[in-house]
Structure 1
């Protein structure tokens, strides 16, 4: 089904079977644990593999072609080494996040590297939906890196996740839920929340891409979000991973202890 075509659909699980994704189980803890290290590199279908089930559901959706910009260009001074190479349950964080995003149906995953990229790039997945770009201006911060990633996207993309690399405990089910909400409200900025706190990754509709690209790199990425407060839609999820970020080894250990991971 082409992007933008309206239809009813269920998302399929990534392990290659045909079990439909149950939206009522969007926050299943087992699914969250799968996101934290048990997925195979042979992750599953993109939006072109969505099963259209127009006769089995009265709910109407717009099929989306989603992309993700995974930001891993920072210098991680307080952490002491690139966060992307951090071991999470026996896996490099950068691999774990790639698998989680791809398993949620991301069609284009752009990994933005910068500082110490030679340590990170060998850990990237060899996957047809993964592309890497090097931001030579990474010292300007996340806005510059996000813009660098956006320039690599195809025109067919209808929504973009913004995902910094320091969210190691993010669940696939959360990404699926955000995708579902954008399908129902295609003009909205969909923001995950946990315990009343906004987190990452927000999912932006593609019409905002040009505005992000025109942004002064010295301004924060939330500038565009603030300009469009009326389009922001909070999406409560049962996933502390959307707020579990870290800058130091102690902060990462604290989250591990709190989440019992």
Structure 2
């Protein structure tokens, strides 16, 4: 059982141009929903209290979709510099809007297949070890989404490295814990039209 007094949030990044997909990726239909909808739903199904979605390109469309389908379960904030910024910049934008929590999952909006069981396993590992940064591990490789302790938020927001999220994670190597999973969803991001065609059917 998950501890009832702990609050877990989700931060979903959906600000990009979808340039490699050739279509507007977040709202592509998938399993009776949309790519972004499946991503948000996976977090809510795992017991996340609230999801913050960072929009950017075609932000008004995304925000209208989220408002219509999720109401108060989802917060939205727009990265106005989405054309010229990286994922870490969107993370920092999202953190300004996210509600207080014990820890939060960080999930790209094009990873719709992460299972509830994986997310809950990360929570259990965090509770058991106290690690401020817990990643799933598939076939010996670290994957998304990490579960990030809220105590790291000020450090994330002030990080000045040149390698974006990868550089940020590298700076925390000594405290990272990984949880081996069999969930292939942690390794699937719908980046191209071929990716979408493979999994949309």
State if a TM-score over 0.5 links the two structures.
yes
Q: Is 1:201–2:139 an aligned residue pair?
A: no
- Quote the Cα distance in structure 2 between the aligned partners of 1:238 and 1:152: 33
The one-character-per-residue Cα deviations of 1:63-83 (angstroms, maximum 9, x if unpaired) are 532111100000011111222
2:144 partner SS: coil
For the 8 Å contact 1:198–1:243, the answer to whether it is kept is: no
Residue matched to 1:235: 179
After TM superposition, list the pairs within 5 Å mapping 1:184-223 onto structure 2.
Answer: 184-216=128-160, 219-223=163-167
Residue matched to 1:151: 96
For the 8 Å contact 2:36–2:110, the answer to whether it is kept is: no
2:71 partner SS: coil
Residue matched to 1:99: 41
Q: Which runs of 4+ in 1 moved over 3 A?
A: 216-219
- Quote the Cα distance in structure 2 between the aligned partners of 1:186 and 1:112: 28
**Cα gap change, 1:126 to 1:251, in 2 (>3 Å):** closer
For the 8 Å contact 1:92–1:123, the answer to whether it is kept is: no
After TM superposition, list the pairs within 5 Å mapping 1:66-145 onto structure 2.
Answer: 66-124=8-66, 125-139=69-83, 140-145=85-90
Q: Which runs of 5+ in 1 are unaligned?
A: 1-9, 12-46, 51-62
- Quote the Cα distance in structure 2 between the aligned partners of 1:253 and 1:129: 30
Q: Which runs of 5+ in 2 are unaligned?
A: none
Larger CA Rg, structure 1 vs 2? 1
- Say what the alpha-carbon RMSD is for the aligned residues: 1.9
Q: Of Structure 1 and Structure 2, which has the larger fraction of its residues in helix?
A: 2
For the 8 Å contact 2:38–2:113, the answer to whether it is kept is: no
- Quote the Cα distance in structure 2 between the aligned partners of 1:236 and 1:158: 22
**Cα gap change, 1:173 to 1:131, in 2 (>3 Å):** same
* Alpha-carbon offset, residue 238 of structure 1: 1.5
The one-character-per-residue Cα deviations of 1:30-54 (angstroms, maximum 9, x if unpaired) are xxxxxxxxxxxxxxxxx7xx3xxxx
The one-character-per-residue Cα deviations of 1:120-168 (angstroms, maximum 9, x if unpaired) are 22221333231010110122021111101111123x4111211001112
Larger relative contact order, structure 1 or 2 (CA cutoff 8 Å, min sep 6): 2
* Alpha-carbon offset, residue 188 of structure 1: 3.3
